[in-house]
Amino acid sequence: MGTCEHCGMMLIKKSELSYEKKENMKIAFYLQDGVEVLDFAGPMEVFAYAGFDVFTVSETKEPIVSQGILKIVPQYSIQNSPKADILAFFGGNSEAAFSDEVVKWIKAQQDIQYHFSVCTGAFALAKADILDDQTATTFHNALNRLETDFPKIQVVKSVRFVDNGKVISTAGISAGIDGALHVVAKIKGFNTARRIAYHMEYDKWIPQEGLLLSENPYKGYIDINYINDYTGIYEYTNGKSIQLYVDSKDSSLYARLDSQDYPLFYIERDVFTDLNEDTVKFMRDDKGIITDYKIGDSVSEYFKKLN
C-alpha cells in the first residue's frame, strides 16, 4: 500500500484491521437531525475497524444536518431498516429527536444483543424503557435531567461508560470512543480493542474508567501479577536495543524502539504477539528469571535481556 507522503507511516487497508475472523455483527446507528459529530463518528471508526457491519438509520430518509455543518443522508428509515444485532443512539438535539414513532420502533426491534448509547443518546433508551432498573450515564450537563425524568434509572456520574451486560451507556462526546472500544473488547477481545486504539492513535483509553457491572473482558490481561517480569532493556536486530515497559493506562506491555512505542499483546504466560501478529516468546532460566526472547515460531535467533 506504500507510505504516507506527509509522515512516512505505512498505509494499510481498513480490511487488514479486522483481526478477528468472527461473523460480523450488524450495528444500526440511529442518527437524528442535529446529532453530535464525534458522538457517532468516533464509535463508527472503532466498529468499522473491528469489522462490524455498520449502517445508518433515521426517522425518515430525508437528509439530516449534524451541528449545522455536515449533511448526512441516512441509508434507511425506521420503516425499512434491516435487522440489527446492536442498536446505537447518540446525542445532539435529544429533547426533540426521539419522537413517539422512534420510541415505538426501538421497542419493536427483536433479538437485539446489545443496546449502546453515547452522550444524550441515553434518552432514547430511557424513553423506550430499556434503561429501567439499569445503571446508566450520559453527558455531564444532562445527568440531573436523566435522573429526574426517569427515576427508575440508577444514574452515575464521573465515569466514562457503564456496562450492565447487554446495555452500555457512555458519557458525552469523546467518551463514545471509550465505550465502543469496550464493546469491541466484550465481543472480540481486549487485544483486538487495543490494536484498534493503537491504529486510531487514541491514547486516552483507560479501561478502568468504566463501571463494569457484568463480565470483565480485561480480566486476565490487565491484572497479570507478573507483567513487570518482562520489563527491561533487550537486544534487538541490527545491533539496536529495545525497551519493554508497562503502560499504567492499560496495564499492558509496550516496546519502545527508536523513540516510538509499539504494543505487545498478551496470549499466555511468556507468550505475546506483536503488531505483525508474530509470536514473541520469552525464555526463563531455572530460577524463573527471564533471560531472552525470540520473535516468530520458526526463528532460532534469541535476543538477550541486558538489564
CATH number at residue 142: 3.40.50.880
Sorted by sequence, the CB contacts under 8 Å of residue 283 that are 6+ apart come out as: 270, 290, 291, 292, 293, 294, 302
β-pairing, 114-117 vs 86-89, is parallel
For residue 257, what are the CA distances in angstroms to 120, 233, 238, 263, 276? 42, 10, 12, 11, 15
Q: What is the chain's length?
A: 307
Question: Could you give the angle at which helices 37-49 and 190-199 cross, rounded to 10 degrees?
Answer: 120
pTM over 0.85? The answer is: yes
Look at residue 41 and tell me if it is in a domain.
yes
Same domain, 146 and 123: yes
Choose the final residue of a domain: 152, 183, 212: 212
Q: pLDDT at position 196, please?
A: 97
- Same-domain pairing of 115 and 154: yes
> Do residues 185 and 244 share a domain?
no
What's the CATH number where 239 sits?
A: 2.40.128.50
Given this model, what pLDDT does residue 8 score? 45
Asked if the structure places residue 155 within a domain, the reply is: yes
Count of the separate structural domains present in the chain: 2
Cβ pair 52, 43 in contact under 8 A: no
Environment class of residue 192 by beta-carbon count within 10 Å: exposed (0-12), middle (13-18) or buried (19+)?
Answer: buried
Domain assignment of residue 45, given as a range: 14-212
Domain end (from 160, 181, 212) = 212
Residues 35, 175 within the same domain: yes
Structural domain ending residue among the three candidates 162, 177, 212 = 212
Q: Do residue 191 and residue 121 come from a single domain?
A: yes
Q: Are the C-beta atoms of 117 and 92 separated by less than 8 Å?
A: no
Instruction: Please give the pLDDT value at position 20.
Output: 43
Report the b/e string of 201-226 with b at 16+ CB within 10 A. Answer: ebeebebebbbbeeebbbeebbebee
pLDDT 10s digit of each residue in the chain, 307 long?
Answer: 444 554 444 444 444 444 444 568 999 999 999 999 999 999 999 999 999 999 999 999 999 999 999 999 999 999 999 999 999 999 999 888 999 999 999 999 999 999 999 999 999 999 999 999 999 999 999 999 999 999 999 999 999 999 999 999 999 999 999 999 999 999 999 999 999 999 999 999 998 889 999 999 998 887 788 899 999 999 999 999 999 999 988 899 999 999 999 999 999 999 999 999 999 999 999 999 999 999 997 777 899 999 9
Q: Domain check: are 257 and 300 in the same one?
A: yes
Domain-located, residue 95? yes
Residues 141 and 260 in one domain: no
Within a domain: 98: yes
Domain identity same for 174 and 124? yes
192 & 60 share domain: yes
| Residue 206 in domain | yes
**Is residue 82 domain-resident?**
yes
Q: Are 134 and 25 contained in the same domain?
A: yes
Place of cell 445527568: 143
If DSSP codes are grouped into helix, strand and coil, which group holds residue 196? Answer: helix
Tell me, yes or no, whether 189 lies in a domain.
yes
C-alpha cell at 88: 446505537
Whether residues 204 and 248 share a domain: the answer is no
Task: Tell me: do 232 and 178 sit in the same domain.
Answer: no
Residue 180 located in a structural domain? yes
